[in-house]
Amino acid sequence: MVTIKDVAKHANVSITTVSRVLNQTEHSVNSETRERVLNAIKELRFYPNAMARGLHLNKTKTIGLIVQDISNPYYPSIVRGVEDAAQELGYTVILANAYRSRERTTKYLNVLREKRVDGIIFTGGGAVKDAAEDNFFERNPVSTVVIGKSFNAKIPSVQVNNVQASREACEHLIRQGHRQIVTVTGPEDSTTAIDRLEGYRQALMANGIDYREELVLRCNFEFDEGYKAVEKFLDVSNDKATAVFAQNDMMAIGIMKALQEKGLKVPENVAVIGFDNIPLASFVTPMLSTVAVPIYELGRTAMRIMSDLQSGHEISRITTLPTKLLLRQSC
């Protein structure tokens, strides 16, 4: 590999000078010698060694992005958002799939430490919690941004108002005349799931409808569970639902499938509304009505905050992005 030394020799200057034109410091360089250096760089196809640079500056211009599972259709948009912003801001991103495993999270955190990433963006509360329990934050100087609810007030977060958004979704169903509204939840330790359930409850309360545990189907945000829960509900429950509020789109899609297989039409017999607006939502038949979460923007914003953090800018601890009720065909 060609080094700064080679360039210096070729241009007949010191490496100091090469470094100076490379970094375009204020320190001025005679325009003629600058030309010479630039030419040498081009001719020799010199690409400065980022490790040597980083070692000195104590900066890597690299950040780690921890997602739970890139296969979950929710995440690719996050990743794109982070990456696009990173690219614009001169950062590179190392992707870490934690698979909701504590062990894997810890392992990755160690690698990211050794690589001396400038910061870490967490997605999904679980990983932050794992990290916190490992005392990761107290012991480390890396900046952190969380996408979702940050249970530590010091860590900046980018989020969405899940309570309010799900309340609005349910109130829409109520306005359509629905009284028997089933909701299908996420895992009980998910703050997102907790908030979305709370919004459901508030909507019912505000409209004089009883909140009944029998209509709350406890699931885990996965397609299969949504499918099975509703299938079972149809088989065994004495209640008749006229609408389903699925707390995310994956489950909503599973639910529509279960409904259709039981001969029920969506939305004629049962209305369905989801949450997230993953790309898939508009591919299914009928197209899913849902609460649109600005997933890509969540990622972009997180990366921008990370960059501000790096430059020591003032930042707000909590950034809330707006959601939007998106009515398509399923309700």
- Residues of this chain that interact with DNA (CB under 7 A) are 1, 3-5, 12-17, 19-20, 22-23, 25, 27-30, 32-33, 46, 48-49, 52-53, 55-58
3-state secondary structure of 195: helix
The residue range among 10-18, 176-184, 198-206, 277-285 that interacts with its own copies, by the rule CB under 8 A, is 277-285
3-state secondary structure of 307: helix
Q: Which listed residue (3, 48, 102, 194) binds its own copies by CB under 8 A?
A: 48
Residues 125-144 that bind its own copies (CB under 8 A): 139, 141
Tokens of 233: 């509900």
Q: Does 55 bind its own copies (CB under 8 A)?
A: yes
Q: Which listed residue (111, 206, 318, 327) binds its own copies by CB under 8 A?
A: 111
Please choose which of DNA, its own copies, none residue 27 contacts, taking the beta carbon within 5 to 8 angstroms, the exact cut-off set by kind.
DNA
Q: Does 329 bind its own copies (CB under 8 A)?
A: no
* Burial state string for 16-31 with b = 16 or more CB within 10 A and e = fewer than 16: ebbbbbbeeeeeebee
Tokens of 290: 């849902």
The rounded distance, in Å, linking the Cα atoms of 40 and 33 is 11
Q: DSSP assignment of 176-187, as one string?
A: TT---EEEE---
Chain CA centroid to CA 247, Å? 17
* Structural contact between residues 252 and 273, judged by C-beta atoms closer than 8 angstroms: yes
Output DSSP code: residue 151: S
Site map 189..228 versus its own copies, x via CB under 8 A:
----------------------------------x-----
The residue type at 298 = L
Task: Give the CA-trace dihedral at 180, 216, 229, 258, to 10 degrees.
Answer: 30
Output 149 or 257, the one with its CB closest to its own copies: 257
Please choose which of its own copies, DNA, none residue 194 contacts, taking the beta carbon within 5 to 8 angstroms, the exact cut-off set by kind.
none
Ramachandran region, residue 99 (left: φ > 0; alpha: ψ -120 to 50; beta: rest): left
Q: Which listed residue (77, 143, 159, 166) binds its own copies by CB under 8 A?
A: 77
Chain CA centroid to CA 225, Å? 22
Residue 282 Cβ, how far from its own copies at the closest point, in Å?
Answer: 9
Please, where are the H alpha helices in the chain? 4-11, 15-23, 31-44, 50-57, 75-89, 102-114, 125-133, 136-139, 162-175, 191-206, 223-236, 249-261, 295-310
Q: Total residues at the site for its own copies (CB under 8 A)?
A: 52
Output 32 or 314, the one with its CB closest to DNA: 32
Q: Does 275 bind its own copies (CB under 8 A)?
A: no
Q: Does 186 bind its own copies (CB under 8 A)?
A: no
Output 92 or 242, the one with its CB closest to its own copies: 92
The residue range among 82-90, 162-170, 200-208, 311-319 that interacts with its own copies, by the rule CB under 8 A, is 82-90
Q: What are the residues binding its own copies (CB under 8 A)?
A: 1, 45, 47-52, 54-55, 60, 62, 69-71, 73, 75-77, 79-80, 83-84, 87, 92-97, 104, 107, 110-111, 113-116, 139, 141, 223, 253-254, 256-257, 260-261, 279-280, 283-285
